[in-house]
Structure 1
Amino acid sequence: MYLGFRPVRREGVPGVATGRTLADAALVAVGGNGSRSGPKGRRPTTFRRTAIRLLGLLAPRRRTVLLALALGAASAGLTALGPRLLGHATDLVVGGSPGAPAVFGVPAASGVPFGAVGRVLCWALLVYTGAAVCALLQARVTLRVIGHLVHDLRARVERKTAHLPLSHLDGRPRGDTLSRATHDVDNIAQSLQQTLGQLVGSTMTAVGVVVVMSWTSPLLTLVALVTVPLSGTVAARLARRAQRQFKAQRAAMGALTGYAEETYSGHALVTVFDHREQAERRFARHNGDFHRASLKAQYLSGLIPVAMASVASLTFVLIAVVGGLRVAAGALTIGTVQAFVQYARLLGQPLGQFAGTANLVQSAVASAERVFELLDAEEEPPDPRPAAGAWTPRPVRGQVVFDRVRFSYDPERPLIQDLSLTAGPGTTTAVVGPTGAGKSTLVNLLLRFHEVQGGRILLDGTDISRMPRGELRRHICTVLQDTWLFTGTVAENIAYGSRREVTREQIVAAARAARLDRLVRTLPDGYDTLISEHATQISAGEKQLITIARAFLADAPVLVLDEATSSLDARTEALVQEAMRELRAGRTSLVVAHRLATVRDADAILVMADGRIAERGRHAELLAAGGVYTGLYEAGFSPSGHSAPERT
């Protein structure tokens, strides 16, 4: 069977360099800058680097990607063949031409051979049906690939956030990080689902159309492609301006999300201090920034398909004029010109789709850039390998030693300088001092939220920097000043303190030890009451009691209490302190506190000032010394928080 691709006469200059022209047009249509981004040797733009990196995530599923490309190529080839068949049918209807080629074995003839026309149309129907089936399969495979890509990207973001140091999270708005991990990943997923399949199919179609056009008539191919550089130039200029607005849009979204998260979290304080109007004005400002950036981005990207359509109309006119002249000269048939008009339409569709999806592509790349910034952030130093003398698991007694530790958040402003202390099993060591003295920083260093910059911290004689962080933290039970609850039942929140499976009886026993059981039973569903971080049915003190109950379940040899009773009333605190005496028995307890009731019974009290241990001793000894501790005590360092009682 003979496939008649030969034109009546091959005209023009052979070897038209259409492949590169189309590739450049495709790139600029979605916001790139073609193969020449400026002077020779200049680095690719951020858009191109980010887009290439995003597509590089498809590498683990290259076989599926190749299948999608193969289906796209088959669909493109069949689509490109369709106009040639319809053009041949037109030649048969108008009487044919002595030089007209045969298609699928059906020769051109004089008159109107309805049988031959019917066979050609049947072939055309089969070709278009096959193209549609291949396109549907290609779209389905592409969506599966995109689904896996986004799934893997979410997993990478989750793993990354789990390994980010505390300094990274503290140095940025939580809402912005949340926006990167949720909104930006969602935007990538939605944009790719709407564009990638179209772009693959459109690119294949454009390549197939250009190949068939070049084979049929190089002259008309040149006419059809002469406007492509113009389209690319217009689209590139608009796309570059739109890309800046899309980046501003995503940044404004992060700022808006961060502010909304902060405002909703502190809604009670905003209301108490009557800052609702100020909050609304700030929200309106962030919302306005996002609206203006979005409007500019959508407007500029929306101009791209309009410009492309205008250029496409010029292409149709040129093909009609030049093709009509060649038909009049007997060099081409009417069917060939008709096929070229269809080819120009098919060629314009991919370019139009590139332009129409430019806003989505640019938005996806802008989001990908923010996500990649998160993925590229510096992680915590990795745990040491066993071969390097790392921690060997063994029973832990709980002796903690700070040996000439030095640390500062800002190199220009030293915080902790040459600090040494020892806390042994069965003892309670309290750390007190004015705000900003570095008390809570000691807890962060012990838990390796930050790494010491000088000296070392030892646990049972082993440098904790040689221990895996998970193993270290498994031996330390911590009750922090800031409570944190997750969405779940009261029982589930208490059980969070244990790494092993616990029974309801153990949960209730821990709640009783923390003086929480009576309060829980007053809730609507008791221990099955659903609560969250922002729950209003429990008070701040009750939230803190839940975190203390976790400590009773943890059963770790080292207990760290960082202002653990700051939200409790005096009576409840006295009861909890009594329970904590039992909890501290046999454990190494490190207590950071401001209130006297927490520290006066400690075996040793360390007074911090200017990043150093200014005084050491027991409560009575420090009061008798008349130093820094006495000043803090007399300034209100008492159970009532008011004037200090007589010295004891």
Structure 2
Amino acid sequence: MQVYLRLLQYVKQYWPAFIVSVVGFVIYAVSQTASAKWLEAFVDTVERGAFEDRIWLALAILGIFFIRGIGTFLGNYGLAYVARYVIHNLRLDLFKHLMILPSSYYHKSSSGELLAKLTYNVEQVTGAATNALKIALREGLTVIGLFGYMLYLNWKLTLLFLVIGPIVGAIVGIAARRMRGISRNVQKSVGDITSSAAEAIKGYQVVRIFGGSQLEIDQFTDVSQQNRRQTMKMVVTQSVTTPIVQMLVAGVIALMTFLAMDPDLIQEMSTGQFIAFISAAALMAKPVRSLTEISSMIQKGLAASESVFDVVDTEPEKDSGTLKLENVRGALQFDHLSFTYDSDGKTVLNDINLNVAPGETIALVGKSGSGKSTLAGLLPRFYDASEGEILLDGHNIQEYSLASLRNQIALVNQQVILFNGSIAENIAYGAMANCSREQIESAAQAAHVTEFANNLPEGLDTLVGENGTLLSGGQRQRIAIARAILKDAPILILDEATSALDTESERHIQDALENVMQGRTTIVIAHRLSTIENADRIMVMDAGRILEQGCHAELLQQNGIYANLYQLQFSETADLPATKQQPDQE
């Protein structure tokens, strides 16, 4: 009930349209009752031989159906108006909340599951929020109207309907509990289908080159079969419940027919009233059946609502800071910093202590899993430290608002994210959308984007496709670098920023990055040590700790971990065949 009441809050703000809908369904219910009354008048008129009244009877039937049409239109349109706004607002609330959830939430949830919540689950909510209300109002008011008319005609016979009420309620209650559980399984299976399909579609090249087509087909078949089985369970439950209720209603109508034809009762009603009574009882069968089907709609909608509200109720990123960053110098201090993932309790960073002067370039190197990216991710507060603190210009970064803090940081990831727009739109993304064309072109020039963009049909206005699928890896990375250049933030994080570039492009980009890094505090994460030789300091990390630090020359002299890594990479490069040392073609 709490979930349903919360869902109805989305309906409440559109109460004028809802009232219009109620009025429409009242009109519809009155027209149904008027049909039974018309039948009474018709039979009595024929029995009396008053054929001169046939014109009024003919006009009455036209009037009844005209009024019913108006009521149907008002009822359906009013609730449809409310329904689409409910879906729109619920989907918008869900998407807005997804934008502020912590990174840990995305690690635990698949993209397919979240997309299913945004699409399929939200649509299912309509059943509980509006469709169920539509049937409840339209059919419920119809039942009330017909029941009242039958009471008026013969209250003794009409009371028989009250006998089956508790029985119908018990059957519907049992079905409702089963429907809720099945609906949860159906919605989960839709998420599994979306995830399976998304992985296969995005990774189609890997799937084909490694012969995984049949494996993906088998996996997709399994999740689709699971969806089919769960849906059929729902259909069986609903299909069994409805005939049982119909038989109960039919049994009462049959009993009423038998008793109504008792000579003593027939004498109390005219022929028209008798036929109208039986007709009204028969007309009640359909709305009663429809009312029993409300339960399945509500249960599917409530199961979907629970999954949506679970996301909406998830604690967003902590943003308790109130300070606004202005005139940032870029002095950083990592003070006894440790970090542990909540999901598995694994310690990734252990007692990191590091001071970074304004404008200094710090390079982080080490094998995979040493904590380099995690350390950089703590700076824009994608995660919060488990112990210790990070100071920016002397203040704990948690004292700054997230928007203010992140506004001072530019980021280039190893895995470049582009959006389905033009090259220029991807460079001037988000808060930079109002940058002038000259600024965009200048950033593109600095990042060597114009080198390939000038050869494209629309230049910088060329569409890149979903996540830049129409471009090479190196081209996508140059666009990401141009985006960081355009932001012109005082703090720069480069996470393998040149990993997707060929040798020649890397040389050009390295020159551009060195210009960009001038006067900015820069954190560089790199596996290729040749790209960070000019860093002010190099931090060698392993198992979440800083084991060595110093400039390139100092670390080579120490003949430690860094020197071994450098010599290993240098020897590997020297041993490569001449053909392998040629620049990769993008």
TM-score (norm 2): 0.91
Is the 1:423–1:590 contact (alpha carbons within 8 Å) kept by the matching residues of 2?
A: no
Q: How far does the alpha carbon of each residue in 1:460-515 deviate from its partner, in whole angstroms, 9 at most, with x for none?
A: 12221111111111111110111001111112112227625223333232222112
Q: How far does the alpha carbon of each residue in 1:392-428 deviate from its partner, in whole angstroms, 9 at most, with x for none?
A: 3421122222122221104743221221212222221
Q: CA deviation at 1:156?
A: 0.5
Q: 1:69 aligns with which of 5, 10, 22?
A: 22
Q: Secondary structure in 2 aligned to 1:589?
A: strand
Superposition map of 1:332-347 within 5 A: 332-347=269-284
Q: CA deviation at 1:331?
A: 2.7
Q: Secondary structure in 1 aligned to 2:262?
A: helix
Q: CA deviation at 1:190?
A: 7.3
Separation in 1, partners of 2:76, 2:296: 20
Separation in 2, partners of 1:49, 1:254: 25
Cα distance change, pair 381–426 in 1 and its aligned pair in 2 (3 A):
closer
Match of 1:37 in 2: none
Q: Given the alignment of the two structures, is residue 398 of structure 1 paired with residue 330 of structure 2, yes or no?
A: yes
Q: Given the alignment of the two structures, is residue 200 of structure 1 paired with residue 137 of structure 2, yes or no?
A: yes
Match of 1:79 in 2: 32
Is the 1:407–1:416 contact (alpha carbons within 8 Å) kept by the matching residues of 2?
A: yes
Match of 2:582 in 1: none
Match of 1:376 in 2: 313
Match of 1:434 in 2: 367
Q: CA deviation at 1:269?
A: 1.5
| Identity score, percent | 31
Cα distance change, pair 215–641 in 1 and its aligned pair in 2 (3 A):
farther
- Structure 1 stretch displaced more, 234-243 or 537-546: 234-243
Cα distance change, pair 228–500 in 1 and its aligned pair in 2 (3 A):
closer
Match of 2:464 in 1: 531
Q: Given the alignment of the two structures, is residue 351 of structure 1 paired with residue 288 of structure 2, yes or no?
A: yes
Q: How far does the alpha carbon of each residue in 1:2-51 deviate from its partner, in whole angstroms, 9 at most, with x for none?
A: xxxxxxxxxxxxxxxxxxxxxxxxxxxxxxxxxxxxxxxxxxxxxx5433
Is the 2:11–2:129 contact (alpha carbons within 8 Å) kept by the matching residues of 1?
A: no
Cα distance change, pair 221–328 in 1 and its aligned pair in 2 (3 A):
closer
Is the 2:539–2:548 contact (alpha carbons within 8 Å) kept by the matching residues of 1?
A: yes
Separation in 2, partners of 1:204, 1:641: 86
Is the 1:227–1:311 contact (alpha carbons within 8 Å) kept by the matching residues of 2?
A: yes
Match of 1:277 in 2: 214
Is the 1:596–1:638 contact (alpha carbons within 8 Å) kept by the matching residues of 2?
A: no
Is the 1:595–1:639 contact (alpha carbons within 8 Å) kept by the matching residues of 2?
A: no
Separation in 1, partners of 2:54, 2:254: 28
Superposition map of 1:180-329 within 5 A: 180-189=117-126, 195-325=132-262
Separation in 2, partners of 1:184, 1:327: 57
Q: Given the alignment of the two structures, is residue 636 of structure 1 paired with residue 569 of structure 2, yes or no?
A: yes
What is the total number of aligned residue pairs between the two structures? 575
Is the 2:100–2:316 contact (alpha carbons within 8 Å) kept by the matching residues of 1?
A: yes
Cα distance change, pair 178–49 in 1 and its aligned pair in 2 (3 A):
same
Residue identity in the other structure for 1:51: Y
Q: Given the alignment of the two structures, is residue 142 of structure 1 paired with residue 95 of structure 2, yes or no?
A: no
Superposition map of 1:137-176 within 5 A: 137-176=74-113
Q: How far does the alpha carbon of each residue in 1:596-620 deviate from its partner, in whole angstroms, 9 at most, with x for none?
A: 1222111011122222222211112
Q: How far does the alpha carbon of each residue in 1:493-546 deviate from its partner, in whole angstroms, 9 at most, with x for none?
A: 122276252233332322221122222223333222211345443211111111
Is the 1:82–1:127 contact (alpha carbons within 8 Å) kept by the matching residues of 2?
A: yes
Match of 1:458 in 2: 391
Is the 1:595–1:638 contact (alpha carbons within 8 Å) kept by the matching residues of 2?
A: no
Structure 1: which 5+ runs fail to align?
A: 1-47, 95-110, 385-389, 644-648
Separation in 1, partners of 2:472, 2:539: 32
Q: Given the alignment of the two structures, is residue 610 of structure 1 paired with residue 546 of structure 2, yes or no?
A: no
Separation in 2, partners of 1:67, 1:602: 70
Root-mean-square deviation (CA, aligned residues, Å) is 2.6
Residue identity in the other structure for 2:33: A
Q: Secondary structure in 2 aligned to 1:440?
A: helix
Superposition map of 1:354-369 within 5 A: 354-356=291-293, 359-369=296-306
Q: Secondary structure in 2 aligned to 1:380?
A: coil
Superposition map of 1:563-642 within 5 A: 563-636=496-569, 640=573
Separation in 2, partners of 1:449, 1:249: 33
Is the 1:478–1:560 contact (alpha carbons within 8 Å) kept by the matching residues of 2?
A: yes
Is the 1:403–1:421 contact (alpha carbons within 8 Å) kept by the matching residues of 2?
A: yes
Match of 1:60 in 2: 13
Is the 1:86–1:124 contact (alpha carbons within 8 Å) kept by the matching residues of 2?
A: no
Is the 1:402–1:458 contact (alpha carbons within 8 Å) kept by the matching residues of 2?
A: yes
Match of 1:548 in 2: 481
Is the 2:324–2:404 contact (alpha carbons within 8 Å) kept by the matching residues of 1?
A: no
Residue identity in the other structure for 1:398: G
Structure 2: which 5+ runs fail to align?
A: 577-586
Separation in 2, partners of 1:273, 1:127: 69
Residue identity in the other structure for 1:394: E
